[in-house]
Amino acid sequence: MKEPAPASGEVVLSSRKRLKPPSSNNGQPSRRPSREDELPGRGEGVVMPRLLRVANVNHKSECYEDLEELEYPAALYSTMEQHLPPNFLNASREKKLALLDRILSKYRPNGERAKKHREYRERIRHNYQPLHNELYTLDPERFFVNSFLDAVKDGSETALRRILTEHSPGVFTFNMLKPSFCAKMLEEVEHFERWAQDARVKVMRPNTMNNYGAVLDDIGMEGMLNHLMIRYLKAMAAVLFVNVGGSSLDTHHGFVVEYAMDRDLDLGFHVDDSEVTLNVCLGKEFDGGELFFRGVRCDKHVNGEARPEEVLEYSHVPGHAILHAGRHRHGAKAITSGQRTNLILWCRSSEFRELKKYQRDFSSWCGECLLRKKERCRRLSSAKRQLAS
């Protein structure tokens, strides 16, 4: 039976950091460079430089953490700087930042929705008081179980794969979060929702498919989640999802979703707006709500049927993570009792998305493209054998 068409998740890109930046020597926050600052190589007829595909890992990037009102995570600017052509690397920090902003401008959301999102973040930043401040800075000893922490510290493919269970091609699970972290995260989300209700702030939901939940980046966890992606997930993604940008993850969208009898019951069949998705069950007590998977597909074949080996149903376990490609078609069955809350991290690669625009062959990751490629090769081999005879 043919599955319904997946619906792409809508996402609001991260804009400003919630935590206040450090002060300069005179006690005033560092100034954001003006858009009028001179760009390296700026002038009539100057072509915007293209980022290098391979990062210059020997280049020590500038730190942008002290600047106010960055539209994207400071770590993204530092990472992108390593991809600048050599003749731009010695420019001043202000010039490099202005150049990187011009490159990023084509990804910047426009319109009234983006304006409302900026205002929404500003209101949270200035008025919301966190319940558990320790959640806003990543502490591996408090956050992670020992098996996950040991595997990441080792860093080898053997150590990383040792903690993984592959339930079907491309769907991996592992024990990740301590119960104490899960409990505090649930309390923090409930605390934020109570504050929003009391302050009469309409919570912006994670995407168009979930009517409950909140974007963790909006409430100040952007830096923590970026650290989680870069330091603890990227090495694993580089091993498991190299064909879909797993080794070049640089931005994210982090949020929680909530399912209960009086809230969302299920989640329709869809694909994520990510290259790699981390899905961790935080709890609480619940029945039902199994995830189902139906294989990885490109845009052309997203509505195709699933092969038997691609069909999987998985029951959530609190503290355990599921890692899969964003283009892996999936959904969630209806919850039958209790409440389930999940932490979701959509991990993205700007490099992969840019290069994908120029590709026509997706057989390295699309199951249907690979099947058709194998069939073409089989027919070609058969034709050659007939000609030879």
- Considering only CA atoms, which of 41, 14, 17 is closest in space to residue 30? 17
Q: Are 380 and 318 in contact (CB under 8 A)?
A: no
Is 90 exceeded by the pLDDT of residue 85? no
**% of the chain surpassing 70 pLDDT:** 85
Q: What is the pLDDT of residue 284?
A: 87
Is 80 exceeded by the pLDDT of residue 153? yes
Any idea what DSSP says for residue 233? I
Q: What is the pLDDT of residue 351?
A: 92
Is 50 exceeded by the pLDDT of residue 13? no
User: pLDDT-derived band of residue 308, with 50, 70 and 90 as boundaries?
Assistant: very high
Looking at the chain, list the stretches that DSSP marks H as alpha helix, in order from N- to C-terminal side: 74-81, 93-104, 112-127, 140-143, 146-154, 157-162, 179-198, 222-227, 234-240, 350-356, 367-388
Q: What is the pLDDT of residue 319?
A: 96
User: pLDDT-derived band of residue 106, with 50, 70 and 90 as boundaries?
Assistant: low
Q: Are 330 and 291 in contact (CB under 8 A)?
A: yes
User: pLDDT-derived band of residue 191, with 50, 70 and 90 as boundaries?
Assistant: very high
Q: What is the pLDDT of residue 14?
A: 31
Residue of higher predicted confidence among 44 and 70: 70
Mean pLDDT confidence for 15-25: 32
Say which range, 7-21, 60-74, 101-115, 275-289, has the weakest mean pLDDT. 7-21
- Considering only CA atoms, which of 295, 290, 370 is closest in space to residue 331? 290
Q: In Å, what is the CA distance from 318 to each residue of 132, 253, 305, 337?
A: 20, 21, 31, 16
Q: What is the pLDDT of residue 39?
A: 41
Mean pLDDT confidence for 189-202: 96
Q: In Å, what is the CA distance from 362 to each residue of 122, 365, 376?
A: 41, 6, 15
Give tens-digit pLDDT for 349-374. Answer: 999 999 888 888 999 999 999 999 99
Q: What is the pLDDT of residue 346?
A: 97
User: pLDDT-derived band of residue 169, with 50, 70 and 90 as boundaries?
Assistant: very high
Match 């890109």 to its residue by tokens.
13
**% of the chain surpassing 90 pLDDT:** 62
Residue of higher predicted confidence among 386 and 333: 333
Q: What is the pLDDT of residue 331?
A: 95
**Residues near 344 by beta carbon (within 8 Å), at least 6 away in sequence:** 206, 254, 255, 256, 257, 277, 278, 279, 280
Mean pLDDT confidence for 17-24: 32
Mean pLDDT confidence for 304-315: 94
Q: What is the pLDDT of residue 31?
A: 41
Mean pLDDT confidence for 330-340: 95
Any idea what DSSP says for residue 12? P
Q: What is the pLDDT of residue 12?
A: 29
Give tens-digit pLDDT for 201-231. Answer: 999 999 878 889 999 999 999 999 999 999 9
Q: What is the pLDDT of residue 48?
A: 63
Give tens-digit pLDDT for 319-328. Answer: 999 999 999 9
- Considering only CA atoms, which of 268, 239, 216, 339 is closest in space to residue 8? 268
Give tens-digit pLDDT for 89-102. Answer: 888 888 888 888 87
Q: What is the pLDDT of residue 112?
A: 67
Q: What is the pLDDT of residue 311?
A: 95
Is 60 exceeded by the pLDDT of residue 43? no
Match 């982090």 to its residue by tokens.
254
Is 90 exceeded by the pLDDT of residue 240? yes
